[in-house]
Structure formats: C-alpha cells, structure tokens
Structure 1
C-alpha cells in the first residue's frame, strides 16, 4: 500500500457527528468503530506524522482467552489476567475499568482480525504468568504494524484524517455539554461543530511542564515518548472542568538505550524471549520479568545506574525488532561470551559463569537465584552473542483524565461532562501504579472501540 495521505485541511468541514483528537491506536480505532456505526467522523492530529506514541510500541497486545492462544497451546483465564494486572498495578487500578478491559481484549483481537489485522503470534511480558502478548506472525514491532494497518482501514472507509491540525479549545453549549472544537489548522483558525468529542491525545511523558508539576524527581530523566506527547488533551479537559487523577503515577521503563541523542526503547519481548540483565560485574541482579517498576528500581540502585541485556542468536531470531536495533548501532556483537564481555568491559569469567548458571536454570526450569518463571523457553547458547546497554527512562503516564468505563469524562464532582469522551493514555485509572507491557496497545483498541460505540449511542440520544 502507498503511504497514507492525510486529508488536506482545505477540506475541513464545519460540522461532524464526532471529532476525534489524536491519530494513535485509540483515535484510529474509535474513528473506524464510530464510522461503522453510521457516524460522520473527523480525526485531527497536531503533528505532521500520524500514529503518536503507538508507532513506538514494540512488544504486542495483551489479551486472554483468545483462539490465537489456543492455537499455540496456551490455556488462559480472563480472571487470572484481571488479578495479575490488579496486583501489578499496586491494587490502585480502577476495578470497573479493569473489568471492562480484560473481558474485551479477546473481542478486540477478533475485531482487528475482521479488519484483516491479524495478530497470530504470542509472547510474554513482565508481570504476566501466561503468553498473552499478541503480535503479528512476522514478529514485527506491534506499533508501526498497527498504525499502518489501521490507516489502511481508515483509507478504505474514507475517513478524513487531518494532520498539522491542533485543537486549541473545547467548545461548550449554554447547558455545559461539549459541542465542538476550535482548531489551528496549519495556521488557519476554525470552529468545528460536533455532537461529541473524543480525546485520544496520549499521555504527558514528553511534557517537562507536567513532569515538573507532578513528578519533579523525574525532571532530569530522558523519555521514550514522541515529542508530541505533551499532555495537550489534559489541558483541554482541565479547561472545561474535567478531573485529573493519579497524575503522580509515571512509569519508568527499565530497558532504554540512551547513549545517543535519539532514545530507543528496547521492547520487553527481548526479555520475554529469553534475554537476561547483567550489571557492570557481569552478574544478574534481578528477575528480569518482574514488573517494570521493580526492574527499573533495581537498575537505578546499581552504582552505574545502567545494565546490559545479554542474548544470543536464538533469542534474536524470535524478536525481529533486534534487526532494527542493530541497524541503528545499538547492538554489541561477540563471537563467544568472553569476546562479548571484553567488548562491553565486563569480567569475562563472571559473564561466562552467569550465562552458564542461567542456561542450567532454563534446563531445570528453576531459577534458584531470582525466581524467574517466564521467558525461559530457551537459554543463551547459540552464537553469536549480543549485548545492548540500557538504563531506565520515562515511558508511560498512568494518570490522566478521570473517566467512566464508558469513556465518559468526569468533572471534580464526579458528574459526567456531556459530549466529552476520553480513551487511551490520556485517561487515568486502568493501570494503577504500574502498567504491564502489552496492556497499553490493548487499551488503545479496547477503549478506542468503546469510545466509538459510546459516542454513537450519545449522538443518537440527542
């Protein structure tokens, strides 16, 4: 397919049923769903590039009790998915949102497949007991694959997507309901009327202002977020009285390559497929597939505040993203473990011993050192051997706009702001104090679809 072409801003109309702000996984899913329910939809994106942070997602999409899992021999249980996510989130997750989420992940996988977007392979991420992380059979990073695939559906359905179009204000009727937006469309100011507005603007992981306001301790941290993730949707919502919740809950991702000006997230699938983490002495120091919070804290506690991912060709064969990491110069190569150790300035005998102990643990299905039980399908035995230098960076903002499980936005009194909906990372509550890898992509589809359905119900009621 040719590269998707956004609609020219000259074609922006004055009236739509639904205006969707943001063109990541949430916004595109909402647009497709609302359009298929008969709504006249427009997607507005402030950046030139479409896809937002979704483009950067690499591991996959979590879902439980799917046919894909059964095809891979994995027997899962939605209740386990719920309890593990609740525990991993420090039991601070909004239970109603979490309940809606876990029970709608399998239908979301089917909905994507109905649109010829097939996630036929599975892997595992930290904090999960089963392989729930769905990804394309090519093992390509999920984000770019999903954005391209959803844009293909958007093109087929003739849904207009406008880039370089920044929403500067939410408009309200005399009775308080949100009924449109004011935009700066490539330099032209315009008012657009709408029956409903969906905020799908992503988080605030690239906003120095919000990080300083809510998490000053992280002010000096680098971020994995795309530059547009500056919390614009939060500002728009706050200006109409929406309540923000859990804004201090910011996730730091443990494995981020940040030695160059460009920061690269090294996806959790690398550990899910068998990689280990070692410190400057060449020794393991943590269960690599514990929650992101625990692994990040363990790395930050090291004197060097950084670590190395160690893997082999067998692991590399199961994570296609490593080809990309290598192409941009992030991967150190060694013919043997000792050779690799010298190149990363680690004691060769220590690293050799660490890898030998790990391989024994994999063989015996028993990690006596750190109690790891997942991501042990293969040891580190096949030459060549590889290392990637990583350290924690700001990755995801769990807090955001307070919403109901129907994606309706709430004000400070707990009342619904009519006509305003929010979904995806801009909304708070689903993840508690730690987001599980693979749950954000699932959130974009599950709650993107929910927002698309709920705006249709709302618009029909007017």
Structure 2
C-alpha cells in the first residue's frame, strides 16, 4: 500500500506540522497559507463564481507544483505513477478535491490500493461487477427538476452557433471541424476531464487506401472494407453510412496526421480481410494518443472542452428546430445556452445497467469496459424530443475484458500473435473472428472464460501488453509447463496446443480454426498469459441519422439543427462492430457532423 507521507512528498507537498492532522482537507491546508486567494482570484469567492472548467484553479496548481511532466518525475519511483497515466494532462481537480474527499480518477476503472493526500481512507473503488445506473453517485448524474424548470424559464446566458455535447474523439473532431467551417463553437463535457470512451480505445483505426498500406504492399479496396463491415454487422448496417465510413477513412487518417498524430503502425483486426488497422508506431494505445492530439488541436483552434458541464435537455422552438440546451454546471448550476445547431457526441450507454438490462436483458449485470460517462445521456435527450432510434437492442460484448476487472485487453494482442485457449489449455476458436462469435465461443467454455497466451516476442512488440503487466494482470513463466501450472491448465495440453499452432504457422495454414494471419510463433521464453471474459463494450444502436449526420425523427425526417455522430448513433455497425471501426467512426462522422452543423447554423 502507498504510504501517505511517501505520496505527499512525491507530489511536492511539504509536511508541515498539524496541516495533515485528521480531518484536514486540501482547502483547509491552503487556507493556512494565505486564505482562499491561494487558489481563487478573491477571498470572497462563492461556488457560483468558480468557472465550471476549473482552468484557473488548475493553472494555480501548476504554478506551485509544476505540470504533469514535473509531477510524473517526482512520483516516478512509486509502484504506480498517478501522473503518467493514459488519461494525459487532465485537471488536477479531477482527483484532488478542495472541499470534499479526494478520489483517484484511475479507480473508475482500476482498483489501485492507494492512500491519497487528505483522504480518510484508501480509495480502491472499481469492482468487476460495477455497472453504474444513471441517477447514482456524483453530482453530474442527478437532475434537479426545480432548478431545471427555472433555467427553462430564464433567458439564455450565452449564445453560440454550434454546441457540441461530449468531448471524446467524436466531439473534438466535430468541434474542430465546425470551428474551421467558420462557426462559433462551444464544446461541453460532463466529466471532470475530456476523452470519454475514446480515451480507453487500445486497438486502432481501420482505413483503406492509405500511404501506410501502400508502403507495406497491402492491396486493400473500399469494396473489401465495406464487405467486411457488412458481414461483421450481419448485413444489418446502413449501406450508405458504411460506404461513407470506407470512402472517407483514409482522409480521416490524413486529418489526424495533419493535427500531429502518428498512425504508421499497421495490423489486422478480427473480421478484416486485410491489414487496415492503423495505430501509433511506438505501440501506444490509439485512443489516448488521438485524444492528446485532439486536445492540443482544440486549444490551438480556440475550442477547448468546458468540463464539468453536463447538458441535461435539448430544447426545440415552435417550428421544432433547435433553440437551446440546458446545462448543469458543477459550480454555475443550471442555465440555458442558446444555439442554432447541436451535435450529439455523447457516446453509448454501456455503463448504464438499467438501460442495458432494458434493451438487452441477457447482458444484465455483465461487467463493462466503458468509461463511467457512458450512461446514455445523449440518446435519452434525443428520444425526449422525438428522435428515432435504430438497432437499439444490439449491445456488443467484447470477448477479452480482463477477468474480474474492467480493463479491456485489446484486440491488438490477438492481432499481433496471441492465441486463445480455454481453462484446459485448448484452442477453441479462430482468434481473429468477429467479436460476437468470439464472445459466444468463450461463454460456451468451462468457467465461461479463457486465457490469451503469448511469448516474449509479443511482449516486446506491443507496448500495451507491458502496461497490463504493470497492472499485475499477467501470469509469467520460463517454460510452457510452468505457465500452464500458473494458469491452472494441463501442461501437456497447453504444450501440444502451442506446438500445433507453431507448426500451422510454419506451414502457412491453420488446420484447426482457419486463422489467416499468424504473425508470431509462440516459442521464445518467457511465456505469458492473461485471463479474459466477455464484457459490455459497445452499443451499436442509437439515434437514426441521415448521410448528412442529421438526427431523424420518428417519421424519418431530419430534426432541423440536430446532428449526431459516434456511438450515440445507430446504423454504421449493424448488429456487431468490427474492431478498429469505432475510432474510424468517431473521426469520419465526427468531422462530417461538425461541418454540416456549421453549414446549417451559418445559413440561419
């Protein structure tokens, strides 16, 4: 367990007598240094006067303690470095609360045994069975109906051309695109920091016709991309939306690269006929990398995310056109924001157990790999004003969520060479099949779980795997027999499984399950394994949209001024999403939604 004094010293705090006595909090500590003005601009500050985005507060944190780079260096010798995570440079106030108990943001997904400064107890909050319902917990999940009514009756506090709701990859791409199209844009995010589900994306971005494919000699086509996506979605995708995704996928890669992203690594994901999944060349997870790039680009473009700002209602005028939204600000309370156009980029509902249970009863209580923000807000607001939903009951279980955790084990691990075995040590499925089929196959195995097995070659090649090791998720041994014992599998069975696989790879044909791509052998010690089981990962259904990203009403007519993109929408992925298509969806349709929203707003 982390010791309080060790962590405080690592953060750059000075242990000063009674400042850390029982009951002390961050605000009390700073008040001894000069009062409220240490953190705020005045000694007479009120809660409503604090900007919801808390940017000024965090700037003052950096003035005293340094930025993330400096803090990461100070805390680098701790077993877990809280300032060097995939979340990036998020607000200090995301974890360090001045007037309430601090909370480690990492433990929304993880279970780090950590005592934070000014905390009364160890924060180890995430559980494998955690599936939050809307209405539980933090301020941003509750709606004060009285305050909402007052905001509806009051005049708008602000007016903009385009409001983008949700600051994940979709929202950032929409906001930047709308800004470049000439609109006055405001990007709102309900969480204490931006990133959404995109921050957790580990695999890559599917694209066809890129320079990366050309360099590697990959002969892919738009038609092949479309065929794979339609097959993966069981033919229930909207063909027009799938064609847009395929045809504009390469332009999306170029767009990200123009903003500073590196997408030079190329691999194959499940359900794809060719190598078309693009990711950072250094093996980093694609989501955090893209979010870092988009955050910086949004700052440069003048549309940073206003965090701690949850949109709770969308308002239409007498002609059923977008008029305004009601925002619940952490400090400012409920207020009306006038806009000519709204882009929904709020993601899905994979962390709303109530909605999952309603739309997909067989998944009730299943663990989820989603960000805690994925509670279906945007879908609910759109349905409230007459939007149409499509494929809403199709929820995807990702086959490889870390067993007894909420940590997604990326498809990349299988894509670059791991095999999947059951608890006996037997292969039972083509590791590169679609997610729905892989999940079904695992659930049919003893203990409804499986192991991913690989060796030192993959460990060195895939940076994210070393991250799983850091989290204590891997079993390791110098021999296959030793690994089997660590897994609880039969050593002879696992030895035969790997020997057969290596022979299939050498011969260029998987005789057992028809796996087409076997990039690595599994014969170089040490050997590794990670336990996995299916978990809720993606909600394929959502609001129905046109090819112009307009949200459609129940009569399939566009709701004027309302646009949507990303996981809040349905139609792109059909009944099952291929790995690598979600990130492409956020970029391709995020850009389109922003451009069309700006065009509409500027025409009014």
**Is this a same-fold pair by TM over 0.5?**
yes
Deviation at 1:68, TM superposition (A): 1.2
For the pair 1:199 / 2:353, whether they are aligned, the reply is: no
Does structure 2 retain, via aligned residues, the 8 Å contact 1:41–1:160?
A: no
2:220 is matched with 76
Deviation at 1:246, TM superposition (A): 0.8
Does structure 2 retain, via aligned residues, the 8 Å contact 1:6–1:163?
A: no
1:396 is matched with 538
Does structure 1 retain, via aligned residues, the 8 Å contact 2:90–2:193?
A: no
Deviation at 1:6, TM superposition (A): 11
1:216 is matched with 361
Aligned pair in 2 of structure 1 residues 430, 224: CA closer, same or farther (>3 Å)?
Answer: same
- Matches for 1:38-437 after TM superposition, within 5 Å: 38-187=182-331, 188-260=333-405, 263-374=406-517, 376-437=518-579
Gaps of 5+ in 2: 1-66, 69-88, 94-155
Q: C-alpha distance in 2, partners of 1:308/1:176?
A: 53
Structure with max Cα Rg: 2
Q: C-alpha distance in 1, partners of 2:580/2:277?
A: 6
1:329-378 deviations in whole A, cap 9, x for unaligned?
A: 0010010111100111111111011000000111111111111102x111
Structure showing the higher strand proportion among its residues: 1
1:21 is matched with 165
Deviation at 1:4, TM superposition (A): 5.7
Deviation at 1:318, TM superposition (A): 2.3
Q: C-alpha distance in 1, partners of 2:452/2:176?
A: 39
Q: C-alpha distance in 1, partners of 2:589/2:403?
A: 32
Q: C-alpha distance in 2, partners of 1:182/1:394?
A: 30
Does structure 2 retain, via aligned residues, the 8 Å contact 1:181–1:192?
A: yes
Q: C-alpha distance in 2, partners of 1:108/1:193?
A: 31
Does structure 2 retain, via aligned residues, the 8 Å contact 1:4–1:152?
A: no
SS at match of 2:336: strand
Q: C-alpha distance in 1, partners of 2:423/2:171?
A: 43
SS at match of 2:410: coil
SS at match of 1:265: coil
Deviation at 1:305, TM superposition (A): 0.1
Does structure 2 retain, via aligned residues, the 8 Å contact 1:281–1:346?
A: yes
Q: C-alpha distance in 1, partners of 2:552/2:295?
A: 30
Q: Looking at both structures, which has the greater relative contact order when contacts are Cα pairs under 8 Å and sequence separation is at least 6? A: 1
1:195-253 deviations in whole A, cap 9, x for unaligned?
A: 10000000010111211211111102110011110100011101110011111111000
Q: C-alpha distance in 1, partners of 2:312/2:484?
A: 53
Gaps of 5+ in 1: none
1:152-187 deviations in whole A, cap 9, x for unaligned?
A: 101111213111111111011111101220111114
For the pair 1:453 / 2:598, whether they are aligned, the reply is: no
Q: C-alpha distance in 1, partners of 2:305/2:378?
A: 18
Q: C-alpha distance in 2, partners of 1:323/1:6?
A: 26
Does structure 2 retain, via aligned residues, the 8 Å contact 1:6–1:160?
A: no
Does structure 1 retain, via aligned residues, the 8 Å contact 2:157–2:335?
A: no
Deviation at 1:127, TM superposition (A): 0.2
Deviation at 1:56, TM superposition (A): 0.6
Q: C-alpha distance in 1, partners of 2:315/2:239?
A: 32
Q: C-alpha distance in 1, partners of 2:525/2:516?
A: 24
Q: Runs in 1 of length 4+ with deviation above 3 angstroms?
A: 4-7
Q: C-alpha distance in 2, partners of 1:391/1:45?
A: 31
Q: C-alpha distance in 1, partners of 2:523/2:206?
A: 29
Does structure 2 retain, via aligned residues, the 8 Å contact 1:179–1:197?
A: no
SS at match of 1:184: strand
Q: C-alpha distance in 1, partners of 2:158/2:92?
A: 18
